[in-house]
Amino acid sequence: MTTAPATFVKGLEGIIAAQTEMSYIDGVQGVLEYVGIAIGDLAKHSTFEETVFLLWNKRLPTKGELESFTKQLRANYALPEGMIERVRSVPTSAEPMHMLRTMVSALSMHDASPNENSVEAARVKALKILGCTPAIVAAFDRHRRGLEPVAPDTSLGFSANFLYMLNGEKPTEAMTRAFDICMITHADHGLNNSTFTARVVISTLSDMYSAITAAIGSLRGPLHGGANEGVMKMLNEIPSVDAVEQYVMDKLARKERIMGFGHRVYKAKDPRAAELMTLAEQLARDTGNMDLYTKSKAIEKIMEREVGSKGIYPNVDFYSATTYHCIGLKLDLFTPMFALSRIAGWSGHVIEQLGDNRLFRPKAEYVGPHNVAYTPMDNR
C-alpha cells in the first residue's frame, strides 16, 4: 500500500489547518461574522467587552454576565508590581511593538502558575493580559514623552480607560466610541498569520504568555498588522487632494503597492473598512482632519476605477489609519492598537486549541541534492 505524496502549497494558502466557532469570513461576498453575528451589527450595537465575551463563550452574555465579565476585566487593569519599573527601563527610542512583545512576555514572571494550561486557567491568564496591556502601552508612550504614568480608572470601560491613561484626561464620548469600534472590528479574523502563530505555539502545550508574545511578533510585520502605519505614511506623502491622481497612477505604473488596498481573503470590500469609513469621516470632521479623509476617498475612487475589477478594494487598515490619527495616536502606536484588540481573538483561539489540541507538525518538501560526498577540510 502506497501513500499519496503530500501537496506543497506555498504560504499554506487555502489550506484548512484549524476549526473555529469564533469568526466566519466570506471573501467573495465581503462578509465577516463573529459567532454568526455580522461585524456591522456588532460595530453599531455592541461594546468591545461584550464582543470579547461573545468570542470566548460563543454567545452573547446576559446583562448580569456582562457586568460580571466587565468587573473581572477591570480588576486586571493595573500592572503587577515592578512592571512600571520595567517599562521605564526601556529606551525611549524603542519601537512600541518590540516593547509590547517583551513586556507581555515579562508578565509571565508575575504569574504563580504560568504553565497551567487548563481551559479555565487560560481564561484567567487571557483576562490578565487583555486587561493590563493598555497600561503597558500607555505607560511606555508617556515614559518616552517624559511624563509620569497615569494609573488606570476602573470606573471606565476598556477603551475610555486606555485613552485616559494615554492622555491623562477623560476622552470624549465620540473618541471613546470610535476607539471601541476599532477594537471590535480588529478583534478576530479567522486563521490569519498571528492567530495561526498563537495556535501553533500553544499546540506544544507551551503557555498563554508565550502564545500571545509570539502572535505579537507576527503582527508586527508590515505584511500583517504593520500595514496601517504604511497607509498613514502614504497619506502624509501626498501634499494635497489635487496630487492624489498623479501619485496613485505613478505608483501603479511602477507596480508598487498602494497601502491599505487588497487582502489575501477579501475579493470584495473588506466589511470592516465599510464600518471604519463612516467613522473616519465623522472623526475627521470633528477634529479638523478632513484633508486626510478627502485624500482617502480620492485614492479609493481611483483604485476602484483602475483595479476594482481585479478584486482589489480597501482593507481594514485603510480607514483605521485616519481614525487613529484623528483620535490623536502617534503613528508608531497604530499597530499596538491592533494588538490590544487582537489579544481577544488570539486568546479565544488559544482556548479553542487547548479544548481539542493536536500538535501542529506539517512537513517540508526537501528540494536539495542527494548523495553528496563529504569533502575533507583540506580538499575544500
- Catalytic hit among 207, 317, 325, 349: 317
Q: Cα 57 to the chain's mean position, in Å?
A: 20
Q: Cα 169 to the chain's mean position, in Å?
A: 25
Provide the residue type at 190 as one letter: G
Neighbours of 55 (CB within 10 A): 23
Is 291 noted as a catalytic residue in this protein? Answer: no
- Catalytic hit among 143, 189, 263, 325: 263
Spatial separation of the C-alpha atoms in residues 314 and 298, rounded to whole Å: 12
Is 317 noted as a catalytic residue in this protein? Answer: yes
Give the per-residue SS3 of 188-241: CCCCCHHHHHHHHHHCCCCCHHHHHHHHHHHHCCCCCCCHHHHHHHHHHHCCCH
- Phi, psi values for residue 60, rounded to 5°: -75, 150
Nearest of 189, 182, 151 to residue 74 by alpha carbon: 151
Spatial separation of the C-alpha atoms in residues 1 and 326, rounded to whole Å: 64
Mapped onto helix, strand or coil, the DSSP state of residue 345 is helix
Nearest 5°: the CA angle 268, 274, 276 is 140
**In sequence order, what are the beta bridge partners of 314?**
261
The catalytic site residues sit at: 263, 317
